[in-house]
Amino acid sequence: MKHTWLVSTGNFASGVLPRRSVVDGQYLDRDDPALLAITDFTREHPVTVDAERQIDDALTDMIRLGVRAMLVYQDNRIVGLITSYDIQGERPMQFLQSSNFSHHRDIRVADIMTPWDSLTAIDWTAVQTMRAGDLLKLLEDAGLSHLMVVEPDPTHGACVIRALVSRARLIRQLTGLRRTG
């Protein structure tokens, strides 16, 4: 008996990941646990981009996937973070002025990303005790659009990137409650 619900992937040019929900999770109160405001990579797969990808293609990926930031990988390790603000802001022009490149299309993610050693992170144990309002204040006081959440991995002498916090998403979650309630 032939199963009619099976589909050959050869019928499609490529495979893509589904677009994330526009809602960005649940609405939050400032006193809700900060854990409700993070993208926890133990529950959601992180969105990543290769360091060698052209920035215009990376921006197209962000739009298609409904995200504003992607972890950057190279040689199977995370080497930085790129945001839509990085791509659409001044960084590409600054890079062109200081490089031998002359076209925007030649700029790779690695050229304008925030490198791993320049990222700001917070320890996982701290996030577990924080409130959403505390997390927003931390982001605002530090002038950050994104914050990495890490936990030590003593087995490998590294840290596990446990989650990512987006200030824009957190603000939407907090203001959504006021609009509806």
- Taking the domains of the chain in order of start, what are their residue ranges? 26-180
Q: Is 61 exposed, middle or buried (0-12, 13-18, 19+ CB in 10 A)?
A: middle
94 within 8 A of 121, measured Cβ to Cβ: no
- The reported pLDDT for the residue numbered 22 is 41
Instruction: Average the pLDDT over 12-18 and give the result.
Output: 55
164 within 8 A of 148, measured Cβ to Cβ: yes
Instruction: Average the pLDDT over 71-88 and give the result.
Output: 94
With a cut of 90, say whether residue 10 has pLDDT above it: no
* CA nearest neighbour of 145 among 89, 92, 93, 83: 83
With a cut of 60, say whether residue 56 has pLDDT above it: yes
Instruction: Average the pLDDT over 130-156 and give the result.
Output: 91
159 or 139, greater pLDDT: 139
Judge if pTM exceeds 0.95: no
| CATH 3.10.580.10 is right for the domain spanning 26-180 | yes
- The reported pLDDT for the residue numbered 76 is 86
CB atoms inside a 10 Å sphere around CB 142: 11
User: Is the sign of the CA dihedral 140, 108, 24, 159 positive or negative?
Assistant: negative
| Most confidently predicted of 48-52, 64-68, 157-161 | 48-52
109 within 8 A of 53, measured Cβ to Cβ: yes
With a cut of 90, say whether residue 8 has pLDDT above it: no
* 59 pLDDT tier (thresholds 50, 70, 90): very high
| 3-state secondary structure labels for all residues of the chain | CCCCCCCCHHHCCCCCCCCCCCCCCCCCCCCCEHHHHCEECCCCCCCEEECCCEHHHHHHHHHHHCCCEEEEEECCEEEEEEEHHHHHCCHHHHHHHCCCCCCHHHCEHHHHCEEHHHCCEEEHHHHHHCEHHHHHHHHHHHCCCEEEEEEEECCCCEEEEEEEEEHHHHHHHHHHHHHHC
- Token pair for residue 62? 């962000």
Q: What is the pLDDT of residues 85-136, one digit of tens each?
A: 999 999 999 999 999 888 888 999 999 999 999 999 999 999 999 999 999 9
